[in-house]
Amino acid sequence: MPELPEVETLRRELEKTIVGKKFSGVDIKQAKVIRDPAPVEFKKRLIGTTVKDILRKAKVLIVELSNGSSLVVHLKMTGQLVYPGTGKNARVSFSFTDGTSLDFNDQRLFAELRVMKDWRTLTFIQGLGPEPFALTREGFLKMLASKKTKIKPLLMDQAFISGIGNLYAAEALFKARISPARSAHGLTDKEKDSLFTAIKEVLTDAIKEGGSSVDNYVRLSGKPGGYVAYHAVYGREGKPCLSCGAPIRRIALGGRGTYFCSRCQK
DNA sequence: AATGGGACCTGCGCGC
DNA sequence: TGCGCGCAGGTCCCAT
């Protein structure tokens, strides 16, 4: 799923490829993904503007435009951005004045596109907790101290810490050797410390590999990200733990599939 | 206040 | 072979 590493991968690739390009057309084939404003106005606000910069906030991509507004993209679970586009599976196809185009694909239609005067006013963005890379060790320890919830759902709570989803929560907890069902405030300082380090390592490594292509995620080129080869637990139910050999287990936690090694993670 | 479940969607893999 | 069903998970919303 597109989590911080996948969205950051796309941000970097978009930065290299579409900054400076001018929108010449927007072909909306599935209006449902356009959340605001209505399709006709959405098009009008894009066409003729030039891409100035590409930002990322947690899992949200922000394409800053020459007219001061922004194209705000949340890929949710199956959203894709592909460049150069073919238009084949596109829900929305953006064309540029140089004749190339950018495809927005989304199998399950959960993703959300907006054009906003100020992306900072988006409620979801205002509710985001700090990103892992913006946190200090001490800050992270303090945040966990007052939380009695289970650590894995807490890591996925965007208002608590932003950018981590189901996959990287599982991988970070494995790396820190912490059971996903432990309560946050019950972790020892040493465990919290390991978790903080593990989160940053897992995210950094995943970005290096261009993200994890499970289900639909692809890089801007349409090619898969390579981090799946490094997954220790996610998607590995029944397979031997890379550390101890015990079969990886999958349980439901907070309604989500949760992979872990019950021998290594205590 | 925190937690759980359903809703939003589609396509895939499974069992019969 | 083909059909129906469960499941995947980011986020919101509602109920408890």
Question: A107 beta carbon < 7 A from strand C?
Answer: no
The predicted pLDDT at position A216 comes to: 85
Asked if A231 and A171 touch (Cβ cutoff 8 Å), the reply is yes
The predicted pLDDT at position A214 comes to: 85
Phi and psi, residue A71, nearest 5° = -90, 120
The 3 state secondary structure assigned to chain A is CCCHHHHHHHHHHHHHHCCCCEEEEEEECCHHHEEECCHHHHHHHHCCCEEEEEEEECCEEEEEECCCCEEEEECCCCEEEECCCCCCCCCEEEEECCCCEEEEEECCCCCEEEEECCHHHCHHHHCCCCCHHHCCHHHHHHHHHCCCCEHHHHHHCCCCCCCCCHHHHHHHHHHCCCCCCCEHHHCCHHHHHHHHHHHHHHHHHHHHCCCECCCCCCCCCCCCCEHHHHCCCCCCCCCECCCCCCECEEEEECCEEEEECCCCCC
Matching residue, tokens 């050999």: A245
Please give the nucleotide, over all strands, whose C1' is closest to the CA of residue A74.
Answer: C10
The predicted pLDDT at position A87 comes to: 87
Considering the entire predicted model, what is its pTM? Answer: 0.96
For chain A, residues with pLDDT lower than 50 are: none
Active site residue A57: no
Q: Cα–Cα distance between A259 and A90 in angstroms, integer?
A: 33
Catalytic position from the list A43, A57, A59, A150: A59
The predicted pLDDT at position A185 comes to: 87
The predicted pLDDT at position A69 comes to: 96
Asked if A205 and A227 touch (Cβ cutoff 8 Å), the reply is yes
The predicted pLDDT at position A18 comes to: 97
Catalytic position from the list A52, A200, A249, A256: A256
Give the burial class of A217: count Cβ atoms within 10 A of its Cβ; 0-12 exposed, 13-18 middle, 19 or more buried. Answer: buried
Active site residue A3: yes
